[in-house]
Structure 1
Amino acid sequence: MREIKVPYFSQWETPAMTLAVLADGPSALRHDPLWCNSGAETIEEYVRWAANGCGMACLKMILAARGEAHSTISLARTCTVYGGYVVNEIDGSIKGLIYAPFVTFVVERFGLRAEVMTNIQTVDIPKILSRQRFFMASVHPSIRWPDSEPPSKGGHLVLVTDGSNGVIRFHNPSGHDETNQEDVMLSLASFDRFFANRGVAVTF
């Protein structure tokens, strides 16, 4: 495995809140004692964005790996300006992350190199990582329970940092404990059951 130390961030400010969110829905985040660190102006803004924050958590980790600190919701706000999210002002729902405008956002704002990738097989991920430093992979959120059988693929983003020796290593922004949050390792076959064959490759 490549020795790349990438800081871990959850999509909520208190990483241990995942099980509460799974049990009670996003409203559980009203009890997150660290919500102010998110960059949100109100608890309502935090709750609305945190449940949709896996992509920005991945970006926050990438930027932190090169020494930059950004709040998750400040990233989301700017990404929205670029069209990476579409916010329904009537019901507050959020659509995204939308890959193409996200790529424009990170290229223009942070000078990253990024590429939308579709129809990618799990066995192709190591080759991608030989050219790009990170891969934001679309997986089913139940990947936090790797022995489970997901009902579908996709719907959540994890940050893949390495793929070698038949193993995928990644940070999961919605992992519920240390074993499935930071530097999670799954075999190619296990990862494949959750992987939607698409994502965004990113490098400095």
Structure 2
Amino acid sequence: MTSNTKAHAVPYFSQYQTPALAAGIATGERTAADDPRWATSGADTREEYAWWAGRLCGVACLRMALAHWRIDPPQPVPLARDLVDAGAYTVDGDTVGGLFHEPFARHVTGRWQLAARPDSSLTRETVHREITGGALVILSVHQSIRTLDPAPPQRGGHLVLAHTADERTVTIHNPSGWPGVSQKNHRIEWRALDRFFAGRGIILGPHPN
């Protein structure tokens, strides 16, 4: 891996409308229905927001990327509904499938003309190269990356946005990270990332002219 460093100044969005509540909601001390800013999500009801909130990590990553490239991001719940229509999520009763990377990438490319590409065999070298080349990378990691759990039960299942990389570390925005600890600009050593990273993700960049 080269010693190049690339840092992107990327706005942060939580998957919760009140980011300070993320830890309490994730640990079960609070519920998303307690979020006083639920209506800013674009949900029709508090219940709809609470249903979607824990499933919006990919939506939050996309909203951050859109804002980075000066595209006004849609509100999260209407965006989630659009992704259902695009096949990036499936909904069956109370069960949500996804986020499915290929239809997600097609929707992002078609709607906003970004260069979105799923990759199911990502390596740290590829992630580093893409970021230093100007891209952002959505990574599939285990949610316990927010505490750097020494023994996560699995890899993958949660999405974060990698925006800065150097030869030793990668820096992420975590939609459900702990406030003041692992939400914004959480810097992680590559060797630690390996415990959580499933080797899958979506590379996002401006559309080539």
Q: Smaller-chain TM-score range?
A: over 0.9
Whole-angstrom distance in 2 between the partners of 1:31 and 1:179: 22
Whole-angstrom distance in 1 between the partners of 2:40 and 2:175: 16
Which residue does the alignment assign to 1:47? 50
Correspondence 1:38-117 to 2 at 5 A: 38-67=41-70, 68-88=72-92, 91-117=93-119
Alpha-carbon RMSD:
1.5
**SS at 1:47 equivalent:** helix
What is the identity, as a one-letter code, of the residue corresponding to 2:119? M
Q: Deviations over 1:162-204 (max 9, x none)?
A: 2213110110000012220111101110111110000000012
Return the offset for 1:147: 4.5
Whole-angstrom distance in 2 between the partners of 1:147 and 1:49: 26
The structure richer in helix per residue is 1
Which residue does the alignment assign to 2:37? 34
Return the offset for 1:155: 0.4
Which residue does the alignment assign to 2:181? 179
Q: Which runs of 5+ in 1 are unaligned?
A: none
Whole-angstrom distance in 2 between the partners of 1:93 and 1:40: 18
Query: Are the counterparts in 2 of residues 168 and 188 from structure 1 also a CA contact under 8 Å?
Result: yes
What is the identity, as a one-letter code, of the residue corresponding to 1:111? Q
The percent of aligned pairs where both chains have the same amino acid is: 35
What is the identity, as a one-letter code, of the residue corresponding to 1:100? E
Whole-angstrom distance in 2 between the partners of 1:7 and 1:77: 23
After TM superposition, what 4+ stretches of structure 1 lie above 6 angstroms from structure 2?
Answer: none
Which residue does the alignment assign to 1:163? 165
What is the identity, as a one-letter code, of the residue corresponding to 2:75? S
Whole-angstrom distance in 1 between the partners of 2:153 and 2:179: 22
Return the offset for 1:148: 2.9
Whole-angstrom distance in 2 between the partners of 1:99 and 1:147: 26
Query: Are the counterparts in 2 of residues 132 and 202 from structure 1 also a CA contact under 8 Å?
Result: no
What is the identity, as a one-letter code, of the residue corresponding to 1:28? T
What is the identity, as a one-letter code, of the residue corresponding to 1:199? G
Q: Which runs of 5+ in 2 are unaligned?
A: none
Q: TM-score, normalised by structure 1?
A: 0.93
Whole-angstrom distance in 2 between the partners of 1:95 and 1:166: 34
> Does residue 23 of structure 2 align to residue 16 of structure 1?
no
Whole-angstrom distance in 1 between the partners of 2:131 and 2:45: 38
Return the offset for 1:132: 5.0
Query: Are the counterparts in 2 of residues 142 and 148 from structure 1 also a CA contact under 8 Å?
Result: no
What is the identity, as a one-letter code, of the residue corresponding to 2:132? S
Aligned length, in residue pairs: 201
> Does residue 142 of structure 2 align to residue 140 of structure 1?
yes
Which residue does the alignment assign to 1:192? 194
